Chains A and B, each alone.
Chain A
């Protein structure tokens, strides 16, 4: 299916998300849409898949102008969208999920559908068990399920929004192979990403968006520098580790034992130095999140103690930790981080350290919000509600809300879903704080990020926690093996050496 965008415009309040976009996508190609967060990629795709209506402009499918009213309408036209977060029904079995979208027929035929399902998935080398429950699947497997479902419902064009976030390298290869097969069959694949390497190896042509405008289109092969320049308008380099850790201990875990069903973490001992950055590596759900939450009083450890700057805070709640200079930035920004429905100015009012009287000095906090918006390059207005910001800008806002005088910041996936520039920016800001003596504890699924920014690394594998590894002497391969559960004997040798060294 040939898809053409003509003069697409879309604004959200004062923010212009898409400005006069014009380009077309030929059938049988894998077409990349590249841009940093807030560039307007997702908005355009949501217009194509019927979630939004454009303010003006037209979409042409195979040369015919169409009006796509809803996602259901989009699938009628043969457009299927694979979302960043798979929208399936976790407590159901795969095959039931598959049947849900089926049209007609009072009683679905399980046998037939299972047969068709198996036939379809072998074409792509997927090996899903149709009887398995969806909540036992990994993100990558859910993605495979969703692709199969969309194809089965008759999708001729597939939109993939950041599909390589949260899936393993192997699953990525499978996904790319499947996409190539689909393109050969004449389907149109639109691949939305901010990951240069993925776009480079997969896409035949790429459109680059920046601040809602189409900067240009490039055919393969690509020059990375050129792409980066088009995306950001300038050339950027990664930051470094800064090694500012000082010898005084700000945080200590002693024989910590935490359990949150089904995860169980035993006997963790750890000391954090001022200004140090510690990365927590591991597959998602290996226990990092549980330990991190135990460190800030959101989960109560069964035994052991948590000591913050010499003060035993074991069993205290999160607010007590906050009072002692600990702050936690969770991954789910709009559920645990920011309050949807409140404006940025209102967030600064609540989070501010200023002594507060009875009445709010609205003018003061408006100005403060504007100052912070400027300082943290948030694209938004002091009166914008947080849910109207893009993901990257929400993350910047959450970071800007952290108090100045913190001794420890704990972060869950600080740069997940952010483009390179935003990620580097985040880390720049965090490192500024490290220079002032703040320590950082962070979880990331991105091993390179962990190696890049940590001083020491804790590796998690199904509830086991490695002794702290020195980031400088750890390689990407080694880390990759460890999170996959290999090479742990060696690690414990290190620990023994470490302990005997400590004793002697």
Chain B
């Protein structure tokens, strides 16, 4: 009974947060002299108006979902893996690197794609493990370590695009030379989305759900996150578990980066991570680290991202507005959680 009440109360407060976020964005729209209803309709239509747009939403959904899956592992261990952006980027770099090795070789493209995606996962894992090593052995908080590693990853990426891997003659922000079509993840006829990448996302979600909910490893990770000293005293090797959670997160981030290269851009571009890492952090907070809500909320965020593209085209508004909506959504929902807690304490 009590728990039911508590849950429905939670839900009410969350809806309250959503309403406040929409109100907040509405106020901003009014301030910039735009018609809020038109803008919201435009976002909706931009995301669902035709099948190409829906497919585009899923193109965003896949990496967003994968990245957030990884982040659930680190959050469970009580870690703030801010370095997630860099892990996506390094994943993409590794994928591109391996693929370049096989350009013009006679190896089957299927094997090349598989190898390069595995390399991407490895790259993400290495970058995440670095943040973990810095924390475990260097005493560098993972937030600062991750932040530093993000900058290094970005610099590395730009350096490669304009240097070693630049297009012959015309090094540019548009990225490296596109890969030949046989190295692309096969997509739906006429759409940008690949069934394979959707498959990876769903498998990833299922794995992380069962890993965290049903396994001894997941429970130990949770214990480390909630009380590291007690967990150690109960016999859990704590730093090893933290390292493993970093590696798991890095594998997911690297896979997201690999899909960005093989399935979406077919080359390395400067903003290959597309900010999905930070968005993943927001989603993880919004769903209160519960994997069960991940798929729909990530879809919602992806839809906002794609729908927002219409804003500058039709209404001459900046598409960053959807970012404002996403950000304020997280802030207001967290705020309402705080309000609810105070409310509950009083009772």
Contacts and interface: CB of A to CB of B under 8 A. Distances in A.
B214 A360 contact: yes
B231 interface: yes
A271 B14 CA distance: 61
A338 B227 CA distance: 8
B134 interface: no
B2 interface: yes
Contacts of B219: 342, 346, 349-350, 360
Contact of B230 (A13, A53, A69, A336): A336
A335 interface: yes
B222 A319 contact: no
A332 to B, nearest CB: 9
A261 interface: no
B216 A360 contact: yes
Contacts of A53: 346-347
A334 B215 CA distance: 24
A318 interface: yes
Nearest to A69: B346
Chain B interface, DSSP helix/strand/loop, else mixed:
helix
B217 to A, nearest CB: 8
Most buried by A among B215, B230, B234, B235: B230
Nearest to B2: A13
Contact of B233 (A13, A55, A328, A342): A328
Contacts of B227: 334-335, 338-342
Interface in B194-235: 210, 214-217, 219-220, 222-223, 226-227, 229-235
Nearest to B227: A339
Contacts of A13: 2
A342 B220 CA distance: 10
Contacts of B231: 339, 350
B327 interface: no
B312 interface: no
B296 interface: no
B233 A350 contact: no
A262 B263 CA distance: 61
B226 A319 contact: no
A359 B230 contact: no
Contact of B216 (A328, A340, A358): A358
B223 A350 contact: yes
A426 B28 CA distance: 63
B226 to A, nearest CB: 4
A401 interface: yes
A436 interface: no
Interface string A310-349: 0000000011001000001010001111111110001101
A322 B229 contact: no
B236 interface: yes
A123 interface: no
A337 B230 contact: yes
Nearest to B230: A339
Interface residues of B, number: 23
Contacts of A346: 219, 222-223
A51 to B, nearest CB: 9
A319 B235 contact: yes
Contacts of A318: 232-233
A339 B216 contact: no
A132 interface: no
Contacts of B2: 13
Nearest to B228: A339
A351 interface: yes
Given A346-B219, A358-B215, A337 B233 contact: yes
Nearest to B232: A318
B237 interface: yes
B226 A350 contact: no
A356 interface: yes
A335 B234 contact: no
A339 B226 CA distance: 6
A330 B229 CA distance: 11
A350 B234 contact: yes
Given A53-B347, A350-B236, A360-B219, A341 B226 contact: yes
A328 B236 CA distance: 14
A336 B215 contact: no
A346 to B, nearest CB: 6
A263 B80 CA distance: 36
Interface string B233-267: 11111000000000000000000000000000000
Contacts of A342: 219, 222-223, 226-227
Given A13-B2, A69-B346, A339 B234 contact: yes
Contacts of A69: 346
A48 to B, nearest CB: 16
A359 B216 CA distance: 6
B146 to A, nearest CB: 24
A111 B234 CA distance: 52
Contacts of A336: 229-230, 233
A360 B2 CA distance: 27
Given A53-B347, A340-B226, A349 B233 contact: no
18 contacts: A318-B233, A319-B235, A319-B237, A328-B233, A330-B233, A339-B227, A339-B234, A341-B222, A342-B222, A342-B223, A346-B219, A346-B222, A350-B216, A350-B234, A357-B216, A358-B217, A359-B214, A360-B214
Given A335-B230, A340-B227, A360-B214, 8 more contacts: A53-B346, A318-B232, A319-B235, A319-B237, A339-B230, A341-B226, A349-B216, A358-B215
